[in-house]
Amino acid sequence: MRLFFSPASPYVRKVMVCAHEKGLADRIEKLPSAAGPVDRDQTIVQHNASGKVPCALLADHTPLFDSRVICTYVDSLASPEASLYPQDARRFAVLTLEALADSILDACLLCRYEKVMRPEALFWEDWYRGQMDKVDSGLDALEGRWFVDVSGDFHAGAIAAACALGYLDFRFSDKDWRSSRPQLASWFAKVSERPSMKETLPPA
């Protein structure tokens, strides 16, 4: 499998963490990309109309996107034992957790674009605050309602949550998300020691 790759993308990191957890990382060829919300990489657009990463290409050139689809595919390539997407009663909790973590990331990316890409004179404070409110309510949900589910096995939902927290530390290092969420902070410190998380750290 080939993967349009950006080392700073938390969605790409999700895919690579899944691949490391399943022992398949060495089967993924990383393709360079220059994906952006304004100037899109036309090489990616040929395969994924949105121009976003991650986008995977199978041996027959069939494209797969977005990260949830690719993670599911990676999981399907390995032994069904210890699947990242359990087939029992936990399945929909795991899928919902992954969606929750991705919604945190979606809001983070919008905040990032507002700060970095929008001309300073056009910065919209209310928009930024509204997106960050989504991040905070998502983190509160992980600390509260969903903590038992996220802190069990290191399944796809937990991987997505870990990548979302990692992205906060990477791009929003001045945000103190830990002090009011001690359980989540402790869990993240623990899972950050996993080889899959260490191998996929974005560049400093």
Question: What is the identity of the amino acid at 57?
Answer: L
Which of 167, 164, 201, 200 is CA-nearest to residue 25?
200
Whether domain 2-77 has CATH 3.40.30.10: yes
**Would you place residue 194 in the very low, low, confident or very high pLDDT band (cuts 50, 70, 90)?**
very high
pLDDT over 90 percentage in the chain: 94
Higher-scoring residue by pLDDT: 135, 204: 135
Q: What is the mean pLDDT of residues 33-61?
A: 95
Q: Is the pLDDT score of 80 beyond 90?
A: no
Summary mean pLDDT of the chain:
96
Q: What is the mean pLDDT of residues 60-89?
A: 94
Query: Tens digits of per-residue pLDDT, 139-186?
Result: 999 999 999 999 999 999 999 999 999 999 999 999 999 999 999 999
203/196 Cα distance (integer angstroms): 15
> What is the full DSSP assignment across 44-85?
HHTT-TT--S-EEE-TT--EE-SHHHHHHHHHHHS-STT-SS
pLDDT over 70 percentage in the chain: 100
In CATH, what class is 91-197? Answer: mainly alpha
**Would you place residue 81 in the very low, low, confident or very high pLDDT band (cuts 50, 70, 90)?**
confident
| pLDDT score of 90 | 93
Query: Tens digits of per-residue pLDDT, 12-37?
Result: 999 999 999 999 999 999 999 998 88
| pLDDT score of 123 | 96
Which of 16, 12, 155 is CA-nearest to residue 74?
16
Domain chopping of the chain, boundaries: 2-77, 91-197
| pLDDT score of 36 | 86
Which of 27, 3, 20, 1 is CA-nearest to residue 191?
20
**Would you place residue 136 in the very low, low, confident or very high pLDDT band (cuts 50, 70, 90)?**
very high
| pLDDT score of 82 | 87
C-alpha of 109 from chain center: 11
Asked if 6 contacts 15 with a C-beta cutoff of 8 angstroms, the reply is no
Q: Work out the end-to-end distance of the chain between its first and last CA atoms, rounded to an integer number of angstroms.
A: 27
